[in-house]
Amino acid sequence: TPGVRPLIAGNWKMHGSLAEAAALAAAVQAGAAGAPAAELLVCPPFPYLHLVAGKAGPDLAVGAQDCHAAPKGAHTGDVAAPMLKDVGARYVILGHSERRADHGESDAMVLAKAEAALAAGLTPIVCVGESEAQRLAGEAETVVTGQLAGSLPEGFAAAGGVVAYEPVWAIGTGRTPTEPDIAAIHAAIRAHLAGRFGKAGEGLRILYGGSVKPGNARAILALPHVDGALVGGASLVAADFLAIAAAL
């Protein structure tokens, strides 16, 4: 999207040791200056967030992979958005399909979490995407716009919120939609954002996620309304992650 700085975000999921997180963050940080076209972001597991945030410089942002909807309270095992902000996070991924599947997160829950993120001064990255059955039934666009309608809070655009389109069947599988299929969903997301938020919705970043690798990044990132990528597996290898960022 013209005038928008793309975002290349790494979702480390539940991988790595403390030492590996430190080394990966340092390697990405060291290479970040070589990919100035993109904003780089890494999202480590909670226990490593503070350490990784300490290693990140101005060229590298740090985010979390989830937060609770409440700012504090009796919620054993959960993590509040203000805590993430406190340890140096700027972004938080919300509604990832693995959380929707593993923890039964609904659009309403994602909406509540996104509101909590905004209240804490974090930028939410809200994930949406259809299952393979929904894709085969021709329902991908309806599913995605329905998820957006249900999970984006009112203040989303004003805060520069990010949407990530991640077809569930493309995550970790090595499969991706065709380029026209990616472009069609991104155009539908843009139309939804512009319809709901007006001018502000036209400049929000829409990431593609699902088996983005150095080999397919250039073609995907060149598609209209693809304003960056959310990268899982390939974000665990600094050279691959940086190669994706350099494909812009």
Residue 208 C-beta: closest distance to ligand PEP, Å: 9
Query: What does residue 14 show for φ and ψ, rounded to 5 degrees?
Result: -105, 60
Instruction: Find the catalytic residue in 68, 96, 186, 225.
Output: 96
Residue 70 C-beta: closest distance to ligand PEP, Å: 25
**Is 172 annotated as contributing to ligand binding?**
yes
44's CB contacts (< 8 A; 6+ apart) are: 12, 16, 21, 25, 52, 62
**166 flagged as catalytic:** yes
Q: Which is nearer to ligand PEP, 95 or 153 (CB)?
A: 95
- Bridge partners (DSSP) of residue 93 are 125
Q: Positive or negative CA dihedral for 66, 70, 71, 72?
A: negative
The residue of the chain with the least Cβ separation from ligand PEP equals 232
**Is 11 annotated as contributing to ligand binding?**
yes
**Is 211 annotated as contributing to ligand binding?**
yes
Instruction: Record the tokens describing residue 193, joined without a space.
Output: 């954002």
Q: Give the residues lining the site for ligand PEP (CB under 6 A).
A: 11, 166, 171-172, 209-212, 230-234
Burial 95-108 (b: 16+ CB within 10 A, else e): bbbbbbeeeebebe
**Is 85 annotated as contributing to ligand binding?**
no
Instruction: Find the catalytic residue in 68, 141, 166, 225.
Output: 166
Residue 10 C-beta: closest distance to ligand PEP, Å: 9
Instruction: Record the tokens describing residue 116, joined without a space.
Output: 């909590």
In whole angstroms, what is the distance from residue 157 CA to residue 241 CA?
27
Pairing of the two strands 7-11 and 228-231? parallel
**50 flagged as catalytic:** no
Amino acid at 31: G
Q: Which is nearer to ligand PEP, 13 or 192 (CB)?
A: 13
Q: Which is nearer to ligand PEP, 121 or 174 (CB)?
A: 174
Residue 125 C-beta: closest distance to ligand PEP, Å: 10
Q: Positive or negative CA dihedral for 54, 73, 64, 125?
A: negative
Q: Which is nearer to ligand PEP, 52 or 212 (CB)?
A: 212
**Is 12 annotated as contributing to ligand binding?**
yes
Written in H, E and C, the secondary structure of 137-175 is CCCHHHHHHHHHHHHCCCCCCCCCCEEEECCHHHCCCCC
Residue 217 C-beta: closest distance to ligand PEP, Å: 11
Annotated active-site positions, please?
Answer: 96, 166
- Binding-site residue numbers for substrate are 11-13, 172, 211, 232-233
